Chain A
Amino acid sequence: MLSFILKRLGLLVPTFFGVTLLTFSLIRMIPGDPVEVMMGERKVDPELHAQAMQRLGLDQPLYKQYFDYIGQLLQGDLGQSLVSRESVWHEFTALFPATLELSIAAILIASLLGLIAGVVAALKRGSMLDHGIMGLALTGYSMPIFWWGLILIMFFSVQLGWTPVSGRIDLFFDVPPVTGFMLIDTLYLDDEGVWLDALHHLILPAVVLATIPLAVIARMTRSSMLEVLGEDYVRTARAKGLSPARVVFVHALRNALIPVLTVIGLQVGTLMAGAVLTETIFSWPGIGKWLIDAISRRDYPVVQNGILLIATLVILVNFVVDVLYGIANPRIRHAG
């Protein structure tokens, strides 16, 4: 087991370097530099431009900038935003809880509804219900997130007035950030109404972000359940006269869950990608919006290290899933 973990860990090092090289070069391939972007239509005074580029360390040759960057990283320094001049780590930790809160809510919705839909579709295989659920799942999977978010806002927020249009809280409430998780921070105010308001704000963006993972989980659960339902031990359980509910939930679902759990783990990457759009539509102050803004402002350290941090997170989650899967299934462990 140890050698399996060590091998997996060993693979992380080149992955990290790959990510740094890729982000470092990709952001620099986009035309324009941070100083020019800041000046917009205004005349860029060459002296002022040179002075700013020197202050930002961008007057150095590219290879030197890259090695300086790696040197900084190895010392655990993620640098400063070129725009706000705040440390990248500080900005990340201030914004990440918002993304995490949204992602957790989304994955909970996606898992719960996805599992139910998948099990129902498997049990009613070939029926109208099965076709209906799978059709919806396919639609959900193909949904353009931006459009879907706006449609939901129009319907639930504007037409029906059930949910707020955007944001994390009614801004007339002043909720000082303590943990960064709105559902926790609002508890400090000792006013139930504020907590409910935060929950209210979470629903729509979480549903939008959950849409694609929900579809994936529902389809995966269905096919996994169908496979398991055909197994001998399920047939035996039925033959023993166990109640259908016991057969489904204790014998079939438990075994069908293993591949589903892996899929849920893999959805972390999808969630991060989806968060970028969802956060933009719902003015959700998380890392997705932060990165988009950083790209348009050519804020190199934020783009490089922000993506590196997200990549680290996705790699770590996948690593944990790999290890857990290895524990659950010795064949993988030995092959890996």
Chain B
Amino acid sequence: MRRNALSPLLLAITLAGASSAATAGNMIFCSEGSPAGFDPGQYTTGTDFDAAAETVFNRLTQFERGGTTVEPGLAEKWTISDDARVYTFHLRAGVKFHSTDYFKPSRDFNADDVMFTFERMLKADHPFRTAYPSEFPYFTDMGMDANIAKLEKVDAMTVRFTLNTVDAAFIQNLAMSFASIHSAEYADQLLKAGKASDINTKPIGTGPFVFGRYQKDAQIRFKGNKDYWKAGDVKLDNLIFAINTDASVRYQKLKTGECQATLNPRPADLAAMKADPNLKVIEQPGFNLGYIAYNVTHAPLDKLEVRQALDMAVNKDAIIEAVYQGAGQKAVNSLPPTQWSYDPNVQDAGYNPAKAMELLKAAGIAEGTEITLWAMPVQRPYNPNAKLMAEMLQADWAKVGIKAKIVTYEWGEYIKRAKAGEHDAMLIGWTGDNGDPDNWLGVLYSCDAVDGNNFAKWCNAEFDQLIKDGKRLTDKEQRSALYMKAQHVLKSQVPITPIAHSTVNQPVRLSVDDFKVSPFGLNSFYGVDNK
């Protein structure tokens, strides 16, 4: 709906309302924040990735739209050596880099671009990095810098990666936003002109949309890439990100047609959105998990019976109703059901306060024992209201005689102190990065992650061996068998209480065609049309 009524105030000064370009073929996406920059390797958040990696860039491999399956991207095909340590990528021919008013490519995409992209992230003394010092946190965090032993250009259209150790998720990792391929020719031009930092403000890629202009806190403009290598994927002539930090305002804008799609609606607005005849809410089970991590190094949580008791005392149904407003699926396991290798036979102990009290008594825990329960200060897809969740848990645990003191810190401090292990029980969660089970089981619960994201500080030898073995295999079935076993070990030791997988809701206007919700929380507009 375009605004056609004019305010009486304006009627006095004009007879004609403002008219704008036809909306068909154009689309405005109400995004939630300004990106920090347009060089995806430097960043870690969805806001940054949506604005650059999903629009301007491609990667060697890419995730299918709306799924976790990896498909060929800028690499047409690849081969893996028998020892699963050498990956040879055959690059796609005829792929063009964007031509803009600040860069005109003289050649098509080739191996030099892949070499530039990865060497810049691997080598601290890379000339481009000397001119424009940067860190690549996601690349480091996924262990890529440590694991890539060698990178070679075999010929103009072939590159080879040699790994130190087998990493079954390597192909998936290359599909992640941080591995977006830059133009080596553009980088050279910038370096010669002494403008290396422009790589972060004026991006050049091979992706479905060409960067136009960015106005901080206001808008990012893209044009559909007419020369895109996958021609059918670009249906929009213009794609505009309208930056709106407030969720209520984004909803109002969607309602009045000032934008055609938005993200992260407030749970409270969902019912009204679904009832609006001009809108549709695309739902997808979230590729996420909100959970309670019990610090197993602190008494009394070092006792299995205590963790079991606290787990049984949690009324998950009530929490899903109140905190997720029903838009969540009860979590049983340590990873989401949409992740391959998920074992549906893992069972929950169930809500049983009476049994919980017995367990506590047997463990010699006095009534009124105090523990701290940390509540996140921020809203996350896996936990839309941590404060409310903490209050409900406090009440649940009080019923079995455990007094929980709710603690919260500013977000950065929260994570820092939690990593240092200051908490007893804490609310936290995760959204999958690359669709690999190790991204859950290894990243969140392994011994290696005890100083990092393993907030339970739980290190179990049997579990850890299974995870390590799984990562060294490339056969999906063999890996699945190991991971399923690991899930049972974890469930029996209760380092966490899984609460819920929140449903991801993406509200769009009816005119929007073929928008798919990414399990990774990204927003992609290739293949999308606005009719």
Residues of A near any B CB (own CB < 8 A): 30-33, 36-45, 48, 51-52, 55, 83-86, 91, 94-95, 150, 153-154, 156-158, 160-168, 170-174, 176-177, 192-194, 196-197, 199-200, 203, 280-283, 285-286, 289-290, 293, 297-298
Distance, CA A166 to CA B219, complexed state (A)? 12
Cβ-closest 3 pairs across A and B = A32-B412, A197-B18, A43-B452
| Chain A residues within an 8 Å CB radius of B197 | 85
| Chain B residues within an 8 Å CB radius of A200 | 7, 10, 18
Known: A45-B140, A173-B21, A196-B17. A31 touches B249 (CB 8 A): no
| Chain A residues within an 8 Å CB radius of B248 | 150
- Chain A residue with Cβ nearest B45: A40
Indicate which residue in A51, A161, A171, A293 contacts B34 across the interface (CB closer than 8 Å): A293
- Chain B residue with Cβ nearest A149: B249
* Contact across chains for B246 and A91 when beta carbons are under 8 A apart: no
User: Among A167, A177, A200, A297, which residue has the most Cβ atoms of chain B within 10 A?
Assistant: A167
Question: How many B residues have CB within 8 A of the partner chain?
Answer: 70
Instruction: For residue B530, give the distance in angstroms from its CB to the closest CB of chain A.
Output: 11
Distance, CA A309 to CA B88, complexed state (A)? 54
Instruction: For residue A192, give the distance in angstroms from its CB to the closest CB of chain B.
Output: 7
* Contact across chains for A285 and B218 when beta carbons are under 8 A apart: yes
B127 within 8 A of A: no
Instruction: For residue A309, give the distance in angstroms from its CB to the closest CB of chain B.
Output: 16
* Contact across chains for B44 and A95 when beta carbons are under 8 A apart: no
Indicate which residue in B217, B256, B409 contacts A161 across the interface (CB closer than 8 Å): B256
Encode B218-251 as 1/0 by CB contact (under 8 A) with A.
1101000000000000000010101111101100
Given contacts A42-B137, A285-B217, 14 further A-B contacts (CB under 8 A): A32-B413, A33-B412, A38-B44, A39-B44, A41-B415, A42-B138, A160-B5, A160-B7, A162-B3, A162-B8, A171-B219, A177-B215, A193-B20, A200-B10
Known: A196-B17, A197-B18. A36 touches B253 (CB 8 A): no
Distance, CA A86 to CA B38, complexed state (A)? 13
* Contact across chains for A42 and B17 when beta carbons are under 8 A apart: no
* Contact across chains for B258 and A165 when beta carbons are under 8 A apart: yes
Indicate which residue in B9, B141, B256 contacts A43 across the interface (CB closer than 8 Å): B141
Q: From DSSP, what is the main secondary structure of chain A's interface residues?
A: loop
| Chain B residues within an 8 Å CB radius of A167 | 218-219, 242, 244, 258
B350 within 8 A of A: no
Known: A153-B249, A165-B258, A171-B28. A42 touches B240 (CB 8 A): no
Distance, CA A197 to CA B17, complexed state (A)? 8
* Contact across chains for A163 and B249 when beta carbons are under 8 A apart: no
Sample of 26 A–B contacts (CB below 8 Å): A40-B415, A43-B451, A45-B141, A84-B201, A85-B200, A95-B216, A157-B256, A164-B3, A165-B252, A166-B244, A171-B240, A174-B213, A174-B221, A192-B14, A196-B10, A196-B17, A197-B18, A200-B10, A203-B7, A283-B217, A283-B218, A283-B244, A283-B249, A290-B216, A290-B217, A293-B33
